[in-house]
């Protein structure tokens, strides 16, 4: 994985675009981060979103010399043949020629992939799943993204839209999935950070004397972040909510273990701020539901790069496409 001496020091911009925020960073072939930019993107129209992303990325390019390319991780189905963002559940991106639009605006080569794919790429080659050839990656935040490393290679499907693991249906009569997804009861609908907030609000109404209930009564917005914060602080009702979500996540993990027989499942994203309060019930549920011997072979681990995984992965995508990193197989 080490870069050759002739390529050492080359820099790219990696951009992680999520349902509510954009995180960009300037990185080199050693994964050192030199500069960052953070922008909120919640509620923006398609033109405003593209403008905000281009402006934030250009800010990094203008502040740093010798940027070679830009990589984007986007929560969207990507057609790798055309560089289009075909459809996004949580952003207003429908059949947008994202790669070409950004390349024109930024004046640099642009490479794009699904955000969970790039997060899985960096974790598999440099992080929590380093050395493994069969890896499932999940990013649990506003929604749930999925990535697959099969036989040491990133799996994208026929045109690039594969591995939408968050849209595996767990409960056909469950909550309506969010955004543009037509389903009910997807893993994303029942086990994302958004689901933590929704279940937290319900629990606050049922338990008004809890710390969570008092926060709701005071007018505070009950979000996944708040529920996690209160759970880590010891509020039992908030812990119950996180545990409930963890068990539902574990049902999805059991399915992935049965289908892919992975060596490692890496779980990242904002919801992982809850740590083992989320992962322990998820592991227990997977163990109770998955088949032998697969269930005993799969390690379920937190992402090594945490909230930076998407940004770093997008940068690694660009570096690899430039030929700086010789990523073929693990």
Residues 160-195: tens digit of each pLDDT:
888 999 999 999 999 999 888 899 999 999 999 999
Collect the ranges in the chain with pLDDT lower than 50: 1-8, 329-330
Q: Residues 6 or more apart from 269 whose CB is under 8 A from it?
A: 138, 139, 140, 141, 144, 145, 193, 303, 307
Task: Find all residues with CB under 8 Å of 266, minimum gap 6, and list them.
Answer: 120, 123, 124, 127, 128, 129, 135, 136, 137, 138, 301, 302, 303, 304
The angle subtended at Cα 164 by Cα 159 and Cα 165, nearest 5°, is 145
Residue 152 within any structural domain of the chain: yes
**CATH classification of the domain holding 87:** 3.30.420.40
Pair (26, 76) in one structural domain: yes
Q: Tell me, what's the pLDDT at 7?
A: 45
Instruction: Tell me, yes or no, whether 91 and 176 share the same domain.
Output: no
Nearest CA among 168, 184, 150, 157 for reference residue 262: 150
Among residues 43, 117, 124, the alpha carbon closest in space to that of 77 is found at 117
Query: pLDDT tens for residues 207-244?
Result: 999 999 999 999 999 999 999 999 999 999 999 999 99
pTM, two decimals, is 0.88
In a domain, 105, yes or no: yes
Q: Which helix (H) or strand (E) holds 78?
A: strand 77-79
Provide the token pair at 191. 């086990």
- Structural domain including 314 reads 11-120+308-321
279 closest CA partner among 296, 299, 295, 259? 299
How many structural domains does the chain have?
2
Q: How many CA atoms lie within 13 A of 314 on its CB side?
A: 32
Q: Is residue 74 part of a domain?
A: yes
Within-domain flag for 5: no
Is the separation of the CB atoms in 138 and 149 below 8 Å?
no
82 and 222 inside one domain: no
User: Same domain, yes or no, for 35 and 184?
Assistant: no
Based on the fold, state whether residues 39 and 114 are members of the same structural domain: yes
For residues 55 and 153, membership in a common domain is answered with no
């Amino acid at each position: 994985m080490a870069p050759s001496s002739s390529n050492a020091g080359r820099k790219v911009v990696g951009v992680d675009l999520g349902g509510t925020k954009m995180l960009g960073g300037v990185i080199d072939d050693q994964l050192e981060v030199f500069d960052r930019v953070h922008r909120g993107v919640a509620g923006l129209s398609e033109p405003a979103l593209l403008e905000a992303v281009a402006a934030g990325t250009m800010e990094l390019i203008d502040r740093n010399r010798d940027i070679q390319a830009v990589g984007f991780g986007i929560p969207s189905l990507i057609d790798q043949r055309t560089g289009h963002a075909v459809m996004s559940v949580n952003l207003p991106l429908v059949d947008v020629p994202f790669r070409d639009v950004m390349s024109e605006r930024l004046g640099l080569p642009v490479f794009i992939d699904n955000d969970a794919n790039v997060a899985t790429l960096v974790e598999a080659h440099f992080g929590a799943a380093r050395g493994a050839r069969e890896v499932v990656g999940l990013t649990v935040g506003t929604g749930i993204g999925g990535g697959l490393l099969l036989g040491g290679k990133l799996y994208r499907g026929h045109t690039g839209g594969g591995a939408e693991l968050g849209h595996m249906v767990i409960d056909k009569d469950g909550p309506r999935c969010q955004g543009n997804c037509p389903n009910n009861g997807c893993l994303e609908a029942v086990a994302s950070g958004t689901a933590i907030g929704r279940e937290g609000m319900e629990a606050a109404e049922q338990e008004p004397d809890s710390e969570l209930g008092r926060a709701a009564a005071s007018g505070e917005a009950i979000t996944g972040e708040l529920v996690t914060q209160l759970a880590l602080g010891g509020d039992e009702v908030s812990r119950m909510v996180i545990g409930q979500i963890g068990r539902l996540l574990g049902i999805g993990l059991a399915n992935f273990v049965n289908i892919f027989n992975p060596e490692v499942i890496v779980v990242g994203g904002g919801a992982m701020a809850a740590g083992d309060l989320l992962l322990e019930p998820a592991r227990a549920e997977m163990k109770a539901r998955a088949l032998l011997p697969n269930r005993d072979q799969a390690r379920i681990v937190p992402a090594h790069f945490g909230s930076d995984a998407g940004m770093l992965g997008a940068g690694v995508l660009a570096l690899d496409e430039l030929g700086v990193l010789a990523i073929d197989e693990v």
